[in-house]
C-alpha cells in the first residue's frame, strides 16, 4: 500500500524503489512514529474530526503494530518506502479501511519532522546522561589523584607543575560546555511540528496544543512552511556532537601519549587495551585510538547536513531524507565513545613518582625563580631575562635549578640567596592560589563547583524526562 499511488498508472522502477527507500534507516523511529500517531488520533477524536469508536480501533491497532515490531514479528518491505507507510499498511491489514482516517489532517512532511524531534529529545537526554557520567569520572579521578603533581605542557613541552587533579578538572570544564550546548539545543528540538501539514497548514479544526500536551512538547511551531523544511535541530545536535568528539579526541591523544614508554605516566587496564598479532609484548591503547579515529565520522555527518541544507528551497524536499542516516550514525559513534572514555579512565592507574620527576624536570620552575626576583622588586621582564641566563648557565655546567651553586646564581644577580634553592614543585603548585589556579585549595573549590554543576545537569535531565510522553500510550 503506497500513500500516494492514486495519480500514477505505473509502478516505480525497482531501482527507484530501492534507491528511494529509507526503511533500512528509519525503522528505528517506529516507536516515535506510533506514539505520534496515537496522539494525533486522540486529537482527531477530541475535535470530532473522526468518531470515538474509530479512534479506539485505530489506537488499538497501532499498539498491536508496536508490539509486533518490538517482538521482531514484523516484515519490512522496500516497496513500502519508510516507517510511516509500513505502520499504516499494517494498521490497515489489522483494522480495515478505517485505518485510512488516521492520516486525516496530517502529511508525511510534518509526521517525519515529529518523529525526528521525538527521537532527538530522548537522544539529547541520553547524551547528557553519558556526559554527566564522564564528568563524574573526572571528579572521581581528581579525588584519587588529588596530591599527584604532574608536568603541565604548552607546545607539548614541559612548562609548569600542576596538580593532576587540575588536569582532570580541565576536561570536566570542556565537557561541561558540551553539556550546555546540548541543553541549549534541546529547547529548539522541543517544538511540535505536527499540524503544519505538507507546508501550508490544514483546513481542519485541529488542536495542536492538545497534541503538544500529549507528547510533552514545550511549544508548537509558528510557521508551517518553515516547520516542514527545518532540520536546523539536526545540525545543532551534530555540531554539539562534533565538539564533544573533538574533546574526546584530545583526551584520547593524551592517553595514547601518556601510555607510551617514552612518557610512562599512565597504565590502562587490560579491559581497555588489545594486543598484537605478531608482537607478544604489545599492549595497545586501541580504545583511545578508535575514539580519536571516529571523530572524522561525526565531522563528516555535520558537513553532510550543512551541504544538504545549503541549497534547498522551501519547503520540504526529498534531500531531507538523508538527515536520519547522518544523525543515527553520529549518535551511534558519540554515545559509545563517551561510555568507553569513562570506563577507560576509571580503570587507569598513574605513576605518581614518574609524574613528579617529570614535573620538576626541564627547568619547569624557571617562572617561579623569576617570580622570586619579582618579589624582591625586580621588574618581571628583567627577572625573565636574568632567569634565562640562569638556565643558560645550568645547560653549560650540567646543573639544574635546584642544584646550581649559589655562587653561580649570584654571578648573574646579587639578589639571589639560599632561598632560591627552596623553590620546588610543591611550593610552585601551592603558590598558584588564585581562582582557577592549580593550588590544592583552588582545586578543591573547582571540584566542589564541578560536583554542583553535574548535579544540576542531572536535575535538568530528570525534569525533562518527566515531561516526555507516557510510554503507556503504547501499552495494550
Please determine, for residue 149, whether its predicted confidence score (pLDDT) is greater than 90: yes
The three three-digit cell numbers of residue 117, written as one number: 524531534
Q: Check whether residue 298 and residue 319 sit in a common domain.
A: yes
User: Is 428 within a domain?
Assistant: no
pLDDT computed for residue 475 by the predictor? 72
Q: Check whether residue 180 and residue 261 sit in a common domain.
A: yes
Please determine, for residue 128, whether its predicted confidence score (pLDDT) is greater than 70: yes
User: Closest by alpha carbon to 161, among 358, 452, 322, 442?
Assistant: 358
Residue pair 193/121 in contact (Cβ under 8 Å)? The answer is no
User: Closest by alpha carbon to 175, among 398, 401, 332, 334?
Assistant: 334
Q: Check whether residue 215 and residue 285 sit in a common domain.
A: yes
**Residue 350 CB: number of other CB atoms within 10 A?**
18
CATH number at residue 389: 1.10.40.30
Q: Check whether residue 187 and residue 149 sit in a common domain.
A: yes
The C-alpha cell 553535574 sits at 454
- For the chain, percent of residues with pLDDT exceeding 70: 96
User: Is 2 within a domain?
Assistant: no
**Residue positions annotated with a catalytic role:** 155, 276
46-93 pLDDT, tens digit per residue, is 999 999 999 999 999 999 999 999 999 999 998 898 999 999 999 999
CATH number at residue 25: 1.10.275.10
Give dist(CA 366, CA 160) in Å, integer: 8
Average pLDDT over all residues of the chain: 95
Structural domain of residue 309, as residue ranges? Answer: 109-357+446-471
Please determine, for residue 408, whether its predicted confidence score (pLDDT) is greater than 80: yes
pLDDT computed for residue 424 by the predictor? 96
Determine the 3-state secondary structure of 296 from DSSP.
Answer: helix
* Residue 227 neighbours by CB under 8 Å, 6+ apart: 110, 113, 193, 196, 221
Please determine, for residue 3, whether its predicted confidence score (pLDDT) is greater than 60: no
427-436 pLDDT, tens digit per residue, is 999 999 999 9
Q: Check whether residue 261 and residue 295 sit in a common domain.
A: yes
**Residue 398 CB: number of other CB atoms within 10 A?**
8
Q: Check whether residue 174 and residue 69 sit in a common domain.
A: no
DSSP string, 431-461: H--STT--SHHHHHHHHHHHHHHHHHHHHHH
Q: Check whether residue 352 and residue 374 sit in a common domain.
A: no
Amino acid at each position: 500500500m503506497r500513500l500516494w499511488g492514486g495519480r500514477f498508472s505505473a509502478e516505480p522502477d525497482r531501482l527507484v524503489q530501492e534507491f528511494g527507500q529509507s526503511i533500512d534507516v528509519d525503522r528505528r523511529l517506529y516507536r516515535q512514529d506510533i506514539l505520534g500517531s496515537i496522539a494525533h488520533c486522540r486529537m482527531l477524536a477530541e475535535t470530532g474530526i473522526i468518531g470515538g469508536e474509530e479512534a479506539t480501533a485505530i489506537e488499538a491497532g497501532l499498539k498491536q503494530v508496536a508490539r509486533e515490531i518490538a517482538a521482531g514479528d514484523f516484515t519490512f518491505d522496500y516497496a513500502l518506502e519508510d516507517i510511516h507507510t509500513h505502520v499504516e499498511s499494517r494498521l490497515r491489514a489489522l483494522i480495515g479501511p478505517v485505518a485510512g482516517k488516521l492520516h486525516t489532517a496530517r502529511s508525511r512532511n510534518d509526521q517525519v519532522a515529529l518523529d525526528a524531534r521525538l527521537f532527538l529529545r530522548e537522544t539529547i537526554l541520553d547524551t547528557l546522561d553519558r556526559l554527566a557520567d564522564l564528568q563524574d569520572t573526572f571528579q572521581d579521578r581528581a579525588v584519587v589523584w588529588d596530591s599527584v603533581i604532574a608536568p603541565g605542557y604548552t607546545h607539548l613541552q614541559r612548562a609548569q607543575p600542576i596538580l593532576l587533579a587540575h588536569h582532570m578538572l580541565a576536561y570536566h570544564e570542556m565537557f561541561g560546555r558540551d553539556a550546555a550546548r546540548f541543553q541549549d539545543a534541546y529547547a529548539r528540538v522541543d517544538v511540535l511540528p505536527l499540524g503544519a501539514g505538507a507546508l501550508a497548514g490544514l483546513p481542519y479544526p485541529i488542536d495542536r496544543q492538545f497534541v503538544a500536551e500529549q507528547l510533552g512538547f514545550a511549544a508548537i511551531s509558528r510557521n508551517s512552511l518553515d516547520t516542514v523544511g527545518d532540520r536546523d535541530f539536526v545540525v545543532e545536535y551534530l555540531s554539539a556532537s562534533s565538539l564533544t568528539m573533538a574533546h574526546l579526541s584530545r583526551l584520547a591523544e593524551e592517553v595514547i601519549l601518556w601510555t607510551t614508554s617514552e612518557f610512562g605516566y599512565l597504565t590502562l587496564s587490560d579491559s581497555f587495551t588489545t594486543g598484537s598479532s605478531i608482537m607478544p609484548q604489545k599492549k595497545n591503547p586501541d580504545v583511545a585510538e578508535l575514539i580519536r579515529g571516529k571523530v572524522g565520522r561525526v565531522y563528516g555527518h555535520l558537513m553532510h547536513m550543512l551541504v544538504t541544507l545549503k541549497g534547498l528551497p522551501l519547503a520540504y524536499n526529498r534531500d531531507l531524507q538523508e538527515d536520519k542516516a547522518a544523525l543515527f550514525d553520529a549518535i551511534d559513534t558519540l554515545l559509545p565513545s563517551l561510555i568507553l572514555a569513562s570506563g577507560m579512565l576509571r580503570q587507569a592507574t598513574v605513576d605518581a613518582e614518574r609524574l613528579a620527576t617529570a614535573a620538576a624536570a626541564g627547568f619547569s620552575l624557571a617562572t617561579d625563580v623569576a617570580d622570586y626576583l619579582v618579589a624582591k622588586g625586580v621588574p618581571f621582564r628583567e627577572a625573565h631575562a636574568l632567569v634565562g641566563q640562569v638556565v643558560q648557565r645550568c645547560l653549560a655546567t650540567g646543573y639544574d635549578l635546584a642544584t646550581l651553586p649559589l655562587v653561580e646564581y649570584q654571578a648573574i644577580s646579587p639578589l639571589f640567596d639560599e632561598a632560591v634553592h627552596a623553590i620546588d614543585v610543591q611550593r610552585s603548585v601551592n603558590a598558584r592560589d588564585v581562582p582557577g589556579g592549580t593550588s590544592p585549595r583552588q582545586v578543591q573549590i573547582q571540584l566542589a563547583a564541578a560536583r554542583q554543576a553535574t548535579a544540576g545537569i542531572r536535575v535538568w535531565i530528570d525534569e525533562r524526562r518527566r515531561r516526555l510522553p507516557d510510554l503507556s500510550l503504547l501499552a495494550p
